[in-house]
Structure 1
Amino acid sequence: MKLSRQLHVTTAISAIDFLASAVPELSKGRLKDAMSKGAVQLLGKPVKRLRRSQQMLKPGDSLALHYDADILQRQSAPAVLLFDEKAYSIWFKPAGMLSQGNEWGDHLSLLRFAEQHFTPLRQVFLLHRLDREASGLVMLAHTKQAAAALSKLIATQQITKTYQIRVKGQLSSELLQQGSICIPLDNKPSESRFTVQAYDANSDSSVVAVQLITGRKHQIRRHFAAVDHPVLGDPQYGKNNKHAAGLALQAIGLRFNCPLRRRLQTFELPAALLLEQF
């Protein structure tokens, strides 16, 4: 079942009793599950996820319910805290986990996973994203000061993010000589720099290390599909690039001069978490 409703409260009532009367298609058990997984929002400035079933609502309140039974039943491997720098932390996000939630919930998101891990000791701020199908390193901040400082580094391209991908085919000598793909995306300049690490003739595929100079949506996947070397296992871009192990794209490195610790920081994905194809 999938439904979306915007609901308006006219009398003082508990959240679960209001939802049960306003959405009779769903049992109280399903509504409580949807609330706990972030699928109910209390509209206002700011919009907040409403998780407590017994929270009292008042006349004039408005709720948004976005219920998708398929999404709420999904599961993924847990995220892993790799490096804890107190003001910020580096996590391993597994494939199948969102970086942050959306209107349909946040139970399968790194942000929510980290919030539950640190609550009530630290705040959690997402600094950058990684595609749901991809896996690898994601950095979170835990103070507003750290979030502002690190976000500035990202905005000014002072954090080197290294990715590893396996793509279909063998890259041409011309493409290798260029060492970058500069095809505009979404009418904006975009650049992906790369080096080929290996070519496997048996599978006719290449392992490529990539550094993003810009950060457009699905940039690596779109760039390599555009030059006829789609990432293996990509369900959205490219043709004849199926791969049983899923999307062959991992964020494997972060490197930057830390404005908080005033030193060069280098974080690498442990070998035990590398995809088998790498």
Structure 2
Amino acid sequence: MNNEPEIIFEDDHLLAAFKPDGWLVHRSEIDRNENRILLQYLRDLSGHHLYPVHRLDKPTSGIIIFGKSSEMATLLQQQLESENSVKEYLAVCRGYCPEQGVIDYPLPPVADFKHQRKRPKADLPRKSAITLYRRLDTVELPYEVDRYPTSRYSLVEIQLKTGRRHQIRRHFKHIHHPLIGCPKYGKSSHNRFFARQYDCARLLLHASKLKIMHPISETVFDINMTPRGTFSELLGKLNWNLTN
């Protein structure tokens, strides 16, 4: 199954694309050895200079949007921050999470660099962070991964109301249902199990829906995309059907 970057919408003002897991949106000192750079790839593919509007973390796949001018990127950012925009994700978490809920838990900035990590966590300013979620399906597997004879997991639909760094992963750790495949906020025993049992070693987080108003045409811009690659294959192996 194709898991390469792909342009899924383009006009004179903006470009929307599929970002595979493992690709950086743009070059970063945090991961200077990574050569898979989505921004450069899409610039070469489209023949246009592109301006990032929002970001997806390297291990996250899904829909991402770029402006074809700095002015358009600013207008798109304003749209994404408006109450009318919709940013939805699909994820797999450990355990049976509640059927639905709101995680309203302020988050401090992520400390990527050494000088940031030297500051006590209590000194880092927290910002409002709100995540809505709805459980779509569950599975109980006959494998002892942790301390129980079986292991439970949930497929979850998530909507971001704010856009803090690593917000979904940090919020689901906060409610004790960490995402599968996350090395930083997840649990290594479950990550290893999915890699070994299902050949799925990636973070199970996918940006599945983006809905905004086009800043120029003022028409509703609505894109939906199901997971690809090993995430898609895993859904089949666990008999999880997104159309239900």
TM interval, shorter chain, is 0.7 to 0.9
Give yes or no for contact 1:248–1:277 (8 Å, CA) kept in 2: no
Q: Which residue does the alignment assign to 1:217?
A: 165
Q: Which residue does the alignment assign to 1:193?
A: 132
User: What letter matches 1:207 in structure 2?
Assistant: L
Q: Which residue does the alignment assign to 2:90?
A: 164
Q: Which residue does the alignment assign to 1:74?
A: none
Q: CA deviation at 1:276?
A: 2.4
Post-superposition Cα deviations, 1:217-250, rounded to whole Å, max 9, x if no partner, equal 1000010011110101111113233131111100
Coordinate RMSD, CA, aligned: 2.0
User: CA separation in 2, counterparts of 1:108 and 1:272?
Assistant: 18
Q: Which residue does the alignment assign to 1:53?
A: none
Q: CA deviation at 1:155?
A: 3.2
Runs of 5+ in structure 1 lacking a partner? 1-76
1:267 matches 2:214 = no
Give yes or no for contact 2:80–2:212 (8 Å, CA) kept in 1: no
1:184 matches 2:106 = yes
**1:216-235 alignment runs, 5 A limit:** 216-235=164-183
Q: CA deviation at 1:148?
A: 2.1
Q: CA deviation at 1:277?
A: 2.9
Q: CA deviation at 1:90?
A: 1.1
Give yes or no for contact 2:206–2:227 (8 Å, CA) kept in 1: no
Residue of 235, 238, 242 corresponding to 2:186: 238
Runs of 5+ in structure 2 lacking a partner? 109-125, 142-150, 236-244
Q: Which moved further from structure 2: 78-87 or 209-218?
A: 78-87
User: CA separation in 1, counterparts of 2:233 and 2:172?
Assistant: 21
Describe the SS at the equivalent of 1:277.
helix
1:206 matches 2:154 = yes
Q: Which residue does the alignment assign to 2:207?
A: 251
Post-superposition Cα deviations, 1:137-165, rounded to whole Å, max 9, x if no partner, equal 11011123321211111233542111000
Instruction: Give the structure with higher Rg (CA).
Output: 1
User: CA separation in 2, counterparts of 1:237 and 1:106?
Assistant: 22
User: CA separation in 2, counterparts of 1:156 and 1:268?
Assistant: 19
Give yes or no for contact 1:252–1:268 (8 Å, CA) kept in 2: yes
User: CA separation in 2, counterparts of 1:108 and 1:271?
Assistant: 19
Q: CA deviation at 1:166?
A: 0.5
Residue of 34, 46, 71 corresponding to 1:118: 46
1:146 matches 2:72 = yes
User: CA separation in 2, counterparts of 1:144 and 1:236?
Assistant: 33
Percent of aligned pairs with the same residue? 28
Post-superposition Cα deviations, 1:28-72, rounded to whole Å, max 9, x if no partner, equal xxxxxxxxxxxxxxxxxxxxxxxxxxxxxxxxxxxxxxxxxxxxx
User: CA separation in 2, counterparts of 1:192 and 1:227?
Assistant: 11
TM-score (norm 1): 0.66
User: CA separation in 1, counterparts of 2:23 and 2:228?
Assistant: 19
User: CA separation in 2, counterparts of 1:105 and 1:236?
Assistant: 19
Q: Which residue does the alignment assign to 1:69?
A: none
User: What letter matches 1:117 in structure 2?
Assistant: L
User: CA separation in 2, counterparts of 1:231 and 1:238?
Assistant: 6
Q: CA deviation at 1:275?
A: 2.7
User: CA separation in 2, counterparts of 1:205 and 1:85?
Assistant: 40
- Structure ranking higher on relative contact order (CA contacts 8 Å, 6+ apart): 2
Distance change >3 Å, CA 237–CA 102, structure 1 → 2:
same
